[in-house]
Amino acid sequence: DVVMTQSPLSLPVTLGQPASISCRSSQSLVHSDGNTYLFWFQQRPGQSPRRLISKVSNRDSGVPDRFSGSGSGTDFTLKISRVEAEDVGVYYCMQGTHWPYTFGQGTKLDIK
Amino acid sequence: EVQLVESGGGLVQPGGSLRLSCAASGFTFSSYGMSWVRRAPGKGLEWVSFITSSFTIYYADSVKGRFTISRDNAKNSLFLQMNSLRAEDTAVYYCARGFAATWGQGTMVTVSS
């Protein structure tokens, strides 16, 4: 199985400051169709997960533009340009290139 | 509005069975792959099973041979038949559309004696 490794696992951030989460896969996520199926999800306390980013860098509908995704191959990053109080929660990367699809361990973001 | 509503969770003894359902609305259900994803207490997300629009099926190794995913396109519904349940299957189970663009609210499954 493809192992997804996130860092850091805990991310205390001051309101208004940027935040960055790294995600590395144990093998390339480039699919034979040319796409890279790397996704980012947010799970706020008490809520269902919500997809933020699809295929590395495409923001889902309604996702604020302070969220951005980048990367290629095996190294990916989620960035929040200015953290707001509503961003508190756990963030997961996920690969959908190889079955079984696998998630990272999760990064818990909270406010300092 | 795209909506997914899970049901069927509950408390079951080890070795028992449960059938989860997911009612879909607001989109052409038959055109989408559908998944079950779970989150155990204090742990991260785990992709359990996936069924494509053409009925190709995938399972995580942890549930293979015990769980069965199915869909009824006429009823816009997704199902997960869970047999031989173990304590480690205790989790909130979510259904999700495609590459999890949309999630339901989840249904809790507790396996305990």
Q: How far is B46 from chain A (nearest CA, A)?
A: 7
B2 pLDDT tier (thresholds 50, 70, 90) = very high
> Residue A59's beta-bridge partner residues?
A53
d(CA B77, CA A67): 33
Test the A interface: residue of B2, B5, B43, B47 with most A CBs within 10 Å:
B47
Query: CA of B97: which chain A residue's CA is closest?
Result: A51
Are the C-beta atoms of B56 and B35 separated by less than 8 Å? no
pLDDT in tens, A41-52: 999 999 999 999
| pLDDT for B74 | 97
Q: Is B94 on the interface with A (CB under 8 A)?
A: yes
**Rounded distance between C-alpha atoms, residue B52 and residue A106, angstroms:** 26
The pLDDT of residue B54: 95
Verify cis geometry, omega within 30 degrees of 0, for the bond prior to B41.
Answer: no
What amino acid occupies position B103?
W
Q: Mind listing the pLDDT tens digit for each residue in B63-90?
A: 999 999 999 999 999 999 999 999 999 9
Nearest by CB: A60 against B35, B58, B101: B101
Residue A56: predicted pLDDT:
98
Residue A102 touches partner B, C-beta closer than 8 Å: yes
Q: Annotate A71-104 with DSSP letters as a single string.
A: EETTEEEEEESS--GGG-EEEEEEE-SSSSPEE-
**Structure confidence at residue B36 (pLDDT):** 97
Averaged pLDDT for residues B28-34: 96
Instruction: Label residue A20 exposed, middle or buried (CB < 10 Å: 0-12, 13-18, 19+).
Output: middle
Q: Are B81 and B17 in contact (CB under 8 A)?
A: yes
For residues B4-13, average pLDDT: 98
- Can you list the alpha helix ranges (DSSP code H) found in B26-84? none
Share above pLDDT 70 across residues of chain A, in percent, rounded to a whole number: 100
- Nearest alpha-carbon partner for B96 in B4, B1, B2: B4
Percent of chain B with pLDDT over 90: 96
pLDDT tens digits, A50-87: 999 999 999 999 999 999 999 999 999 999 999 999 99
Mean pLDDT (whole number) for A14-20 = 97
pLDDT at site A58: 98
DSSP H helical ranges for chain A: none
